[in-house]
Amino acid sequence: MRRVRPSSLTGSRAAALAVLLAWIVASGTHAAAQSRGAGRTPPPATTVWGDPDLQGIWPGGSVYSVPFERDPELGTRATLTEAEAAKRNLDIDAQSVWVLANYWPELGHAPPLASLIVEPENGRLPSMTEDGARRAEEWRTKTADGYYPRGYPAYMAAGPADLRPYDRCITRGVLGSAFPNQYGSGMQIHQAPGFVVIRYEMVHEARIIPLDARPHISSAIRSYMGDSRGRWEGDTLVVETTNFNGRTGSYARNGNGNPTSVALRLVERFRLRDRDTLHYEVLVEDPRTWVRPWKVAFPLRRDDRSVLYEYACHEGNYAMRNILSAARSAER
């Protein structure tokens, strides 16, 4: 029987030892790297085909507490001081009892932004054109204490066409879907080679955005959500959307404010600041409505525990039936 020296190893044992040593070396290298990078933000991930990985759910509820337009007293100051931001978050905390008693709100501590609007520099909407102001006034008569042109009191429309897409649960439009709201807010992003899909909870919209440089569809074809085309500029996803039908709003939340026109053009930018922070901005160009473009920008935090639920707006829209039945009663 051949004796084996203690230092000798069979092939399988040698292979096992080699794997073990490699693991130890790799672990040490990883630990050293972690030690060197302690406190650093992990770099953004990429998809298997090499694009920045934006996939996930990005709730917007916490950004809802940021005013859409800036307080004029803040002038051109785009961010709050630490004390101002802390006070706002205390005010949000003070609402906790109401929030717990009401399952709608999805609020949270807000980023220290003075306003969602970042351009113009004063954080406020630019002046409207004469035509834009006229259409905005017509829009307001259908939301407040005014009267419809046919003489029906507010919220007593003669027919569905007298009500906006918001009231009819048709859509919130791109801006109303993307801007933060107190519930049903945020977006879910899916990616595939050559395409990005952005899904919203509000009225369950889904935008399928090609990235292959194809031209926009004919200007004769228009829709509530427009026609989107995307491209990568470095690590930023740029989405240009045209071909709107001019029937959705743009002000504040839910797309339930100042109207837009068919000249509306949006340029959105999505960029990862780190693995779990997405910077979103949108440039709004509508020369028929405003005298100059304006821009909104805010951060979103990835939360894969969040869920986009079915937004059964039509199914529960009893207000629509009540509005029309009240008009019939008034006629009688």
Instruction: State the Cα–Cα distance between residues 184 and 190, nearest whole angstrom.
Output: 18
Instruction: State the Cα–Cα distance between residues 323 and 282, nearest whole angstrom.
Output: 35
pLDDT digits (tens, 9 = 90+) for 120-146: 999 999 999 999 999 998 877 665 434
- Residue 330 has a pLDDT of 84
User: Which residue did the predictor score with more confidence, 204 or 221?
Assistant: 221
The mean of the pLDDT values for the chain is 83
Burial of 245 (0-12, 13-18, 19+ CB in 10 A): middle
Best CA proximity match to 178, nearest among 103, 113, 266? 266
- Residue 221 has a pLDDT of 98
Between 62-71, 158-167, 176-185, 277-286, the lowest mean confidence (pLDDT) is in: 158-167
Coil, strand or helix: which one is 196?
strand
156 band by pLDDT with thresholds 50, 70 and 90:
low
312: tokens are 């059964």
Report the C-alpha dihedral over residues 221, 225, 227, 231, rounded to 10 degrees. Answer: 180
Following DSSP, what letter does each residue of 282-319 receive, concatenated? EEEE-TTTBSS-EEEEEEEE--TT-------TTTT-HH
258: tokens are 């100042």
102 band by pLDDT with thresholds 50, 70 and 90:
low
**What integer is the mean pLDDT of 180-199?**
93
Residue for token digits 């027919």? 159
Report the C-alpha dihedral over residues 285, 204, 124, 235, rounded to 10 degrees. Answer: -70
Instruction: State the Cα–Cα distance between residues 241 and 194, nearest whole angstrom.
Output: 17
| Furthest C-alpha separation in the chain | 113
In this structure, are residues 140 and 217 in contact, taking their beta carbons and an 8 Å threshold? no
pLDDT of 161 above 90: no
Instruction: State the Cα–Cα distance between residues 148 and 139, nearest whole angstrom.
Output: 10
How far apart are the two ends of the chain, measured CA to CA in Å? 113
pLDDT of 6 above 50: no
